[in-house]
């Protein structure tokens, strides 16, 4: 009979909590030694990849092999690509202003505060958001149309994220673009193609876990939390606050969708003002 092996999944949840914690604690030790907390962003994708790899190993004999492989491969590919991109982007840069501002508000010891709010907080988020990957791996339901739909959504998200990141990196490489706002390619359709793609990736992985109503309901919190993080949490909101005073950003925001890709507005209200 098809279903989810809930007992084995519970064991997996405990082990992956330790896995995510280990990755982030190791990153914390490296960051403290180097005096650079921005490297935690590199560890984000690595932690998801580690959780997916551990889940794939532990779920052997408990879930459908095709679904297990899809869940692990999709998560690891997404996580390692993201980590590699962030590592390249941050090479040669100092501390991220976001972490400087956060730690400047620390009520006590900055290092302890960073451990509690940044590293342990991110470990908890990695574990929570990866629930669909873990649940999918313990379902004996063979891969079907909904799973393929999920992989299609995941693939679209990965392309959006990767292409958006590549376009922005190429734009910044040109000295003639220094001080200018990126408004080309996917960035003409949405101010955050990478965040939009990230959201699609996790809704796609969620569909992979929807083998019955029980696991679908149990892990729904994961893509919802990721969507909120990207739109009103540490993603879109903080980045736009940081960019608000840049010359030309108000005009760009007036003609470009804030999140969902839409054709650029040619005649915004801001442009019609005398």
Helix residue spans in the chain (DSSP H): 6-34, 40-58, 65-90, 97-104, 110-114, 120-129, 131-137, 145-173, 193-208, 213-218, 221-231, 236-243, 249-255, 269-272
Q: What are phi and psi of 4, to 5 degrees?
A: -110, 135
Domain enclosing residue 73, as ranges: 6-264
Q: Is residue 274 part of a domain?
A: no
| Bridge partners, residue 16, by sequence | none
Residue 98: closest CA among 53, 40, 137? 40
Q: Tens of pLDDT along 12-61? A: 999 999 999 999 999 999 999 999 999 999 999 999 999 999 999 999 99
pLDDT in tens, 75-115: 999 999 999 999 999 888 888 888 888 888 888 899 999 99
Q: Rounded to whole angstroms, how far apart are CA atoms 101 and 135?
A: 37
Nearest to 49 by CA among 21, 72, 16, 22: 72
- Asked whether residue 23 is domain-assigned, the answer is yes
Q: What is the DSSP string of 1-62?
A: ---B-HHHHHHHHHHHHHHHHHHHHHHHHHHHHHT-GGGHHHHHHHHHHHHHHHHHHHTTTT
Residues whose CB is less than 8 angstroms from the CB of residue 165 and which lie 6 or more positions away in sequence, other chains included: 85, 194
The tokens describing 46, both together, are 């690595």
Global pTM reads 0.92
Distance between CA atoms of 200 and 221, rounded to whole angstroms?
15
Give a yes or no: residue 222 inside a domain: yes
pLDDT digits 0-9 by tens, 118-145: 999 999 999 999 999 999 999 999 999 9
Residue 270 belongs to some domain of the structure: no
Q: What is the pLDDT of residues 174-198, one digit of tens each?
A: 999 888 999 999 999 999 999 999 9
Per-residue pLDDT at 268: 44
Q: Is residue 194 part of a domain?
A: yes
Residue 17: both structure tokens together: 């909590």
227-261 pLDDT tens trace = 999 998 877 887 888 788 888 999 999 999 999 99
* Confidence at 271, pLDDT banded by 50, 70, 90: very low
Task: Say how many C-beta atoms besides its own lie within 10 A of residue 234's C-beta.
Answer: 14
Q: How many domains does the chain have?
A: 1
Mean pLDDT to the nearest integer, 3-17: 95
């Amino acid at each position: 009979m098809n279903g989810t092996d809930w007992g084995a999944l519970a064991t997996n949840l405990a082990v992956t909590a330790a896995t995510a914690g280990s990755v982030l604690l190791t990153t914390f030790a490296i960051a403290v030694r180097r005096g650079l907390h921005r490297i935690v962003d590199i560890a984000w994708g690595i932690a998801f990849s580690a959780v997916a790899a551990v889940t794939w190993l532990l779920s052997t004999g408990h879930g459908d092999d095709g679904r297990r492989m899809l869940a692990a491969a999709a998560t690891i590919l997404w996580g390692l690509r993201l980590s590699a991109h962030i590592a390249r982007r941050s090479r040669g840069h100092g501390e991220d202003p976001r972490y400087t501002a956060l730690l400047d508000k620390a009520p006590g010891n900055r290092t302890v505060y960073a451990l509690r709010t940044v590293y342990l907080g991110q470990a908890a988020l990695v574990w929570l958001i990866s629930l669909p990957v873990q649940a999918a791996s313990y379902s004996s339901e063979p891969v079907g149309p909904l799973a393929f739909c999920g992989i299609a959504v995941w693939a679209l998200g990965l392309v959006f994220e990767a292409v958006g990141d590549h376009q922005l990196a190429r734009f910044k490489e040109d000295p003639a673009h220094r001080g200018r706002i990126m408004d080309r390619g996917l960035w003409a359709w949405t101010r955050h193609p990478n965040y939009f793609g990230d959201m699609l990736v996790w809704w796609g992985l969620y569909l992979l876990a929807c083998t019955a109503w029980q696991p679908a309901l149990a892990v729904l919190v994961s893509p919802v939390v990721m969507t909120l993080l990207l739109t009103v949490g540490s993603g879109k909101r903080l980045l736009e606050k940081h960019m608000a005073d840049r010359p030309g950003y108000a005009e760009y925001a007036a003609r470009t969708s804030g999140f969902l890709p839409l054709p650029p507005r040619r005649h915004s209200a801001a442009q019609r003002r005398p």
